[in-house]
Structure 1
Amino acid sequence: MTTLENNHRLLAAAQIVLRLAIGFLFAAHGWQKFSQFTIAGTTASFTEMGVPVANLVAPVVATLELVGGIALILGIATRIFGALLALDMFGAIVLVHAQGGVFVAEGGFELVLALGAGAAALALMGPGSWALDRLFVRRKGAQRDSVNA
């Protein structure tokens, strides 16, 4: 086994670990906004935090986090959901958490930054070889090859 092959396997393993961890946390936070806080409660909380158009933003963010988290876990549209979730976390830092400092105990941005960085990393590097995205890419490639044959 060459070093290059070993690095590819390590990268693929790192990508799936990152997808599973970041995806799980986003899905859990999205589910929490729907089930525990409810959309009405999330909207009220966002309003209190000063989030503009909270009645529109709350259900969009809850849906993005739930659906996007599941998509990351499965490796579906990973780059798209990674970018959207990174933007979601950037907005959370700017609008809510920056004034709280670093630590989450004081309302700070440490968790939001970690989630955003993980989502941005997935947007930049893609899902890895163990993802449903790869099945669709292979299938499209096989269909294209059979048409061109």
Structure 2
Amino acid sequence: MLPPRRHPALPDAGLLIGRIAVGVVFVAHGWQKLTDEGHAAVTRSFDHLGIPLPGLAAVYGTWVELLGGLALIAGVLVPLAGVLIALDMAGAFWYVHMGKGLFNQEGGYEYVMVLGAACLLLAFTGAGRFSLDAVLWGRRGREEVPARRSVNA
């Protein structure tokens, strides 16, 4: 016999909370790059770190974090936003944090690893029912599956 299912809205509520939390972090970082530092400063910083095509990487990092974060919060185009932000975090891991160990206080990769993994989780699961994706596109692939009967019954 299969165990009883959780309330059907709980996974979607969890996706909503996760999307908002991760989205706020990325909006803040994208906004910081755009306003506090400015494109030229981000480009110089990326060049100093040895990131290839630092000007293009600065534009990508700024806008994917800002717009991708907003997309996560709103729950629109979440699979695309999740993958693009995860690629951004992969670049941060590779070019900035990889050789510095795990812990963030030592410049390590724990923060970018968790954020990248969270974005892939959202990309692979989708936005959930409490999202613009659900309103615009429906809940494709998330229909309830009927419980199986036991062969011995």
Distance 1:28 1:100 in 2: 24
Distance 1:37 1:105 in 2: 22
Instruction: Find the residue that maps to 1:36 and give its secondary structure.
Output: helix
State the TM-score, normalizing by the size of structure 1: 0.87
Output one character per residue of 1:62-116: Cα deviation in whole Å (capped at 9) or x when no partner. Answer: 0010000000000000011001111111111011110111122221111111110
Shift in Å, 1:5 = 5.5
Give ranges in structure 2 of 5+ residues lacking alignment.
139-153
State the TM-score, normalizing by the size of structure 2: 0.85
Which amino acid is the alignment partner of residue 116 of structure 1? G
Distance 2:5 2:137 in 1: 23
Output one character per residue of 1:15-51: Cα deviation in whole Å (capped at 9) or x when no partner. Answer: 0011001111011110010111111111111111111
1:4 aligns with 2:8: no
Larger Rg: 2
2:55 equivalent in structure 1: 55
Moved more, 74-83 or 105-114: 105-114
Distance 1:3 1:132 in 2: 29
1:79 equivalent in structure 2: 79
The list of structure 1 runs, each at least 4 consecutive aligned residues, that deviate by more than 2 angstroms after superposition, is 2-5
Query: Higher helix proportion, which one?
Result: 1
Identity %: 40
1:146 equivalent in structure 2: none
5 Å matches for 1:122-133?
Answer: 122-133=122-133
Which amino acid is the alignment partner of residue 115 of structure 1? L
Instruction: Please give the root-mean-square deviation of Cα atoms over the aligned residues, in Å.
Output: 1.3
